[in-house]
Structure 1
């Protein structure tokens, strides 16, 4: 049995739906915090919370492979939760643990989730269980958030950035399905990215072409951007996280694009321009 955690999220649910096209439903299970929300998937549903190792033991029972979908938090709590999931999977006797890591995973990254991914990869290596760390590209769904208000103001105002290999959930979910059902991906994967690395100036150009409304890229000092976020009510940790994302991107942590994902899928990956066509 293959067990997928976080199946109520966008990526986890897409992975389960993809698995259902390749495997009988009885060979798939999910571990979720809210079982009621996963009842429609038609697979084995068990309550599982990374903060509750005993519950994870029940959720992972009978699994040959477990996909640990990373949490949406960061910091030591996130690392502890990921370690708990890895340890529970190892104790369950699984043949392989898969984890949704990130192309920017690095202990020294200024973007807080990246040291967390690096620490989880270390936990996977220490587990003694064969593992696959899927180094996913940066989710393209972040772009509309960065564009908030840009169409109205005509300005995409944000700190200095660098190229990012934006990647869609659908492509990454398809890769996870292949990793769970076929052999070949062992250890830390190459970056699994979209076809091109695009900075925010490029995004502004794409939006201008798609909408016919001129959007100009405006660079804002880090401190001013952070102050604006705080003024709009964001908690300090979240403001620091967002600023850290820009610092990491201009270090080149989320570039270049890599052909590994397209080779794995056997088809071209979706570009950020194609993604934006569907959401603008």
Structure 2
């Protein structure tokens, strides 16, 4: 059985949807905080059990009979996330899982200004020491384009701190690739980088936005401290603004410049480009 955590969330929810196109529902189980939110999966024949990264016994029960367990990274900003991940890994080992997979991030490491990457690195270290086969899905950045780019549709500018090359992948592509790996007869051992074929910059977003809208969209570089001050003036807490700034700082050190073709191979096509993703944003 393939067990997926976080299956009521956006990423792993889409992963389960893609997985059900590849394997019978009787081979799929989900571990979720609130089983009522997974009723649509239970109705399709998926095994639904309650599980939380804070409840080891419940996790072990939800992972029972697993050949593979896909762990989504915790989004609990108030928790000791590394401890949560260790609890989940240990529960999967105790349940007898033959392979554990984890949604990590491209560029993971301890030597980066972007804090989440050290969390992923610590989790990967624990996973590598677990004694079972393991795979980490090092996804490129994904999420809300509005947060990344700001109100460019209204202002005609992308005004952000200096950046560097990075991969902004479509979450739907990341989910489809995860399902392909879970359903594959071939093992994927260790880190798997899931990135665009070539990295992009915010200038590339501005160029694509200009072409899509037929009006010029400027990429304006804002000084780091001025950007933080502007964010705070708009009601963003300083800690949150500096957290986001650290992502831009990490891009401009070349930390995310490396690309890989694995995502394209897993999808059997090119992943959605930044232009494709912007077109979806414009369409609403």
TM-score by structure 1 length? Answer: 0.94
Among 105, 110, 115, the residue aligned to 2:113: 110
* Equivalent residue pairs, number: 278
Matched, 1:266 2:268: yes
Contact 1:75-1:113 at 8 Å conserved across structures: no
- The change in CA–CA distance for 1:76 and 1:46 in structure 2 (over 3 A counts) is closer
Among 212, 215, 219, the residue aligned to 1:213: 215
Matched, 1:86 2:89: yes
- The CA distance in 2 between the partners of 1:204 and 1:156, in whole Å, is 7
Residue 279 of structure 1 aligns to a residue in which SS? Answer: helix
1:60-79 aligned within 5 A: 60-73=63-76, 77-79=80-82
Partner deviation per Cα, 1:168-204 (whole Å, 9 max, x = no partner): 1122112111211212311112x21123311111111
1:160 deviates by 0.4
Partner deviation per Cα, 1:240-278 (whole Å, 9 max, x = no partner): 220110001111122233212112332222211112111
- The CA distance in 2 between the partners of 1:239 and 1:276, in whole Å, is 24
Residue 278 of structure 1 aligns to a residue in which SS? Answer: helix
1:76-155 aligned within 5 A: 77-139=80-142, 141-155=143-157
Q: Give 1:27's aligned residue.
A: 27
Contact 1:195-1:271 at 8 Å conserved across structures: no
Matched, 1:179 2:174: no
Contact 1:35-1:46 at 8 Å conserved across structures: yes
- The CA distance in 2 between the partners of 1:214 and 1:95, in whole Å, is 53
- The CA distance in 1 between the partners of 2:78 and 2:69, in whole Å, is 23
1:9-20 aligned within 5 A: 9-20=9-20
Contact 2:149-2:160 at 8 Å conserved across structures: no
Partner deviation per Cα, 1:224-249 (whole Å, 9 max, x = no partner): 21222223233343222201100011
- The CA distance in 2 between the partners of 1:19 and 1:244, in whole Å, is 34
CA RMSD of aligned residues (A): 1.6
- The change in CA–CA distance for 1:230 and 1:144 in structure 2 (over 3 A counts) is same
5+ unaligned residues in a row in structure 1: which ranges?
Answer: none
Residue 256 of structure 2 aligns to a residue in which SS? Answer: coil
- The change in CA–CA distance for 1:17 and 1:173 in structure 2 (over 3 A counts) is same
Contact 1:74-1:112 at 8 Å conserved across structures: no
Partner deviation per Cα, 1:34-61 (whole Å, 9 max, x = no partner): 2111111231111111111122112111
- The CA distance in 2 between the partners of 1:73 and 1:112, in whole Å, is 14
1:38-77 aligned within 5 A: 38-41=38-41, 42=44, 43-73=46-76, 77=80
- The CA distance in 2 between the partners of 1:96 and 1:60, in whole Å, is 12
1:74 deviates by 5.8
Residue 194 of structure 2 aligns to a residue in which SS? Answer: coil
Residue 89 of structure 1 aligns to a residue in which SS? Answer: helix
- The change in CA–CA distance for 1:116 and 1:54 in structure 2 (over 3 A counts) is same
TM-score by structure 2 length? Answer: 0.93
5+ unaligned residues in a row in structure 2: which ranges?
Answer: none
Among 194, 197, 201, the residue aligned to 2:199: 197
